[in-house]
A and B are shown apart, each in its own frame.
Chain A
Amino acid sequence: MRRLLLTTLAVALLAGCATPRNNYDPLEPVNRETYAFNRALDRAILKPTATAYVEHVPQPVQKGVRNFFGNIDDFFSTFAALLQFKGTAAVHSGSRVLVNTTAGIGGLIDWGTGLGMRKGEEDFGQVLGFYGVPSGPYLMLPLYGPLTLRDTVEPIGRYFMGPLDFIDSDAWDVGYYSLYLVDSRSKILSLDTLLEGQPDEYAYIRDAYLQRRWASIHDGHPPYALPLGDVDDDGDEDNDFDPGPTDPPLAEAASDVAAAPVDEAASQPVTEAASVPVAATASEVAP
């Protein structure tokens, strides 16, 4: 009996070891639990609140709230741009903060955009990325959402630099963060249909988040695509299979691309197929 138990345990452990699917999400089991928790909370409270907010709160108020939080983003974005020596971006974001905080009554009105000051999207995670800090493991935080270990510097930095810390009131804090959550959620309500259609919401969000971060750190032009693949049987992440241009014959291309027959031979790149006979002839000719 004991041996049976031990064997079962060993098998379970081995199975457990075999499950890490990739190198960039080592905490996947925990993350998935957190995601399920977040999603349940979202369905029960946050999403209904955000929907009601969008439907019932007057447009100008919603706009003011969004501008207000946007102004705070600009404040941090200015410092993040400076730390990356992005002078132009820092000037734009900095001027936005100056104009919108004063003339825009604490950020409620966005005059900056009309004056040609571009909104930046720098953050402290990108600063670390700029200096070559790797992203570290992917994290799914309760109530917060997706993040990587490196990018935790953003919420932590914001917490310590808080420009509104002079307001020392719990009621303010509760109001501030609740409104922040509702406003943030209302921005992405339209993505829900897309998300719910995915076979695996968790993986979809993770892969989208990591790719987007990778692109922002390189200001939209990453040197190569972020390798996001499951570890296969050899233990590497060689998940790609690229048949090259599939190039269906003209007649079929005109009627229906999707219905064009594709077999292994046809899906090979044309150049490769063409080079085979050439190589064969060459070896025959060569003595």
Chain B
Amino acid sequence: MKRWIASLVIGLIPLFALAANDSPEQITRKVSDDVLAIIKSNEKDPTKVRDLVDARVAPLADYTRMTALAVGRYWRTATPEQQQALTREFRTMLVRTYLSALTVYKNAEVEVKGSRPGAGDDEQSVRTEVSLPGQKPIPVDFSFERTRQGWKVFDISVDGISFIVNNRNQFSAVIRKDGVDGLIKLLADRNNALKNGAAAK
């Protein structure tokens, strides 16, 4: 058993090393296969699925840019500490709301449809279709940016609805009313509520 784990870990190392040179399309293929495998083997335990998937996607996501885009022009007025806190809470929110619901997709199939250039050479968007048996496939697009550690995702849009855009107006309304700290507090409170809700179940 121990040897099995060891060989698995050793087998994974070159995979991660390779990941830096992969094209966005290849990354999407690999990660979606891994995520579906995680969901299938842990379908009874949404929390475990959430944590495993979170660990798998974290190195591939630029949460800071995601948060900056969602916060919009108020990002510039936030102090570095506030920006860090915003990023932390936004990430927690995304993980708790979206990744906790993944068990629904245990029979899902992801088809990578191709990629197209985004704004400039350093951005690409990968188009996929997620389908559940007997349902119309849902288009899911991933926006990638080129960083020094390879390609990373900074936005996801589901059926044309972008995570970033869909939070921006809500966030700016909160910031106008209660300031940046108000938004941090609101996100933190909500994340706590989600945590307690999950614990109560």
Q: Please list the residues of chain A having a beta carbon within 8 angstroms of any beta carbon in chain B.
A: 21-22, 113, 119, 121, 190, 194, 197-200, 203-204, 207-208, 211-212, 214-216, 220, 222, 225-226, 228-230, 232, 238-248, 250, 253-254, 256-264, 267, 270-271
Contact = CB atoms under 8 A, between A and B. Distances in A.
Contacts of B101: 194
Contacts of A22: 169
B20 to A, nearest CB: 10
B166 A211 contact: yes
Interface string B74-99: 11100010011001100100000100
A248 to B, nearest CB: 7
A261 B172 contact: no
A197 B194 contact: yes
B149 interface: yes
A225 B170 contact: no
B146 interface: yes
A245 B152 contact: yes
Given A199-B173, A239-B73, A245-B145, A194 B97 contact: yes
B44 interface: no
Nearest to B60: A257
Contact of A253 (B68, B87, B149): B149
Q: Size band of the B side of the interface?
A: 35 or more
A200 B170 CA distance: 6
A259 B86 CA distance: 11
Interface of B: 58-59, 61-65, 68-69, 71-76, 80, 83-84, 87-88, 91, 97, 101, 104, 122, 127, 134, 136, 139, 145-149, 152, 154, 157, 159-162, 165-166, 168-174, 186, 190, 194
A203 B161 contact: no
A228 B70 CA distance: 12
Contacts of A242: 65, 68-69
A264 B91 CA distance: 20
A203 B170 contact: yes
Given A241-B72, A241-B76, 12 more contacts: A113-B134, A203-B173, A204-B166, A211-B165, A220-B139, A225-B162, A229-B72, A230-B169, A240-B72, A247-B148, A258-B84, A270-B148
A199 B174 contact: yes
Nearest to A226: B165
Contacts of B59: 253-254, 257
B169 A240 contact: no
A257 B134 contact: no
